[in-house]
């Protein structure tokens, strides 16, 4: 059996990744999971988080917010609502979004939609993390 699988990451606006990968880590809704070639067929929902995958021993990271993934022995397809490579992340905007979400969480407003604010905070933090980790590699 080959030691790679075809990895595709699709968003509503484009096909962002289409490569042969050796390994991928995806943020499943019930926890991160590592996928190697020959994985049993699986469908999962994705949470907000970071996708890491390896091609030719180089690691790549992407931030994703909501989506789902299908794993087959020779192919992994990820549908994500938004997926961004580190260099595409708008850091100031993510920073602002983070501050806004934090403020809202602190505000003690009884009308606050907690899950939503939390989600926003998570998305912003993931983006910042991904952007920073890529900055270190350079």
Partner 1 sequence: MPNILDIRRRIRSVINTRQITKAMKTVSAAKLRRAQEAALAARPYAQMLTNVLKSLISRADVYDPVTGEPFHPLLVERPEKTVLLIVVTGDKGLAGAFNTNILRMASRFLQSKLEENIDLECIGRKGRDFMRRRYPTAPQRPDEALKNSATENEATENEQTAVSLAQRETEPAPPRAGRVQITGEYVGVLGKVDHNFANTLSQKLIGRYTRGEIDAVYILFNEFKSVLAQRLVAERLLPIKEIGEIDVQMAEEPTQEERQKRIEAAKSTGVGMRRADISAVDEAASTFARSPVDYIYEQPPRQLFEGILPKYVAIQIFRALLESIAAEHAARMTAMDAATSNASDMIDSLTLAMNRARQAKITKEIIEIVSGAAAAQ
Does position 108 interact with partner 1 (CB under 8 A)? The reply is no
Task: Give the span between the Cα atoms of 32 and 28, in whole angstroms.
Answer: 5
Using the rule CB under 8 A, give the single segment among 7-15, 56-64, 130-138 that binds partner 1.
Answer: 7-15
Q: Which is nearer to partner 1, 50 or 104 (CB)?
A: 104
What radius of gyration do the chain's Cα atoms show? Answer: 16
Binding partner 1 by CB under 8 A: which of 5, 21, 84, 123?
A: 123
Phi and psi torsions of 91, nearest 5°: -60, -50
Interacting residue with partner 1 among 42, 59, 91, 99 (CB under 8 A): 42
Q: Is 106 in the site for partner 1 (CB under 8 A)?
A: no
Question: Using N-to-C axis directions, what is the helix angle for 91-106 and 114-137, rounded to 10°?
Answer: 150
Size of the site for partner 1 (CB under 8 A): 38
Binding mask 51-80 for partner 1 (x = CB under 8 A): --------------x--x-x-x----x-x-
Residues in the chain, total: 138
Residues lying near partner 1 in the complex (CB under 8 A) are found at 8, 10-15, 28-30, 33, 40-45, 65, 68, 70, 72, 77, 79, 81-82, 93, 97, 100-101, 104, 111-114, 116-117, 120, 123
């Amino acid at each position: 059996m080959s030691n790679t699988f075809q990895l595709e990451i699709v968003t509503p606006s484009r096909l962002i990744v289409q490569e042969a990968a050796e390994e991928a880590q995806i943020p499943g809704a019930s926890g991160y999971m590592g996928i190697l070639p020959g994985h049993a067929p699986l469908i999962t929902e994705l949470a907000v988080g970071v996708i890491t995958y390896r091609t030719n021993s180089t690691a790549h990271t992407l931030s994703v917010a909501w989506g789902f993934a299908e794993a087959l022995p020779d192919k992994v397809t990820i549908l994500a609502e938004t997926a961004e490579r580190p260099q595409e992340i708008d850091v100031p905007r993510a920073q602002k979004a983070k501050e806004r979400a934090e403020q809202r969480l602190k505000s003690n407003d009884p009308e606050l939609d907690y899950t939503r604010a939390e989600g926003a905070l998570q998305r912003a933090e993931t983006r910042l993390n991904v952007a920073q980790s890529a900055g270190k590699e350079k």
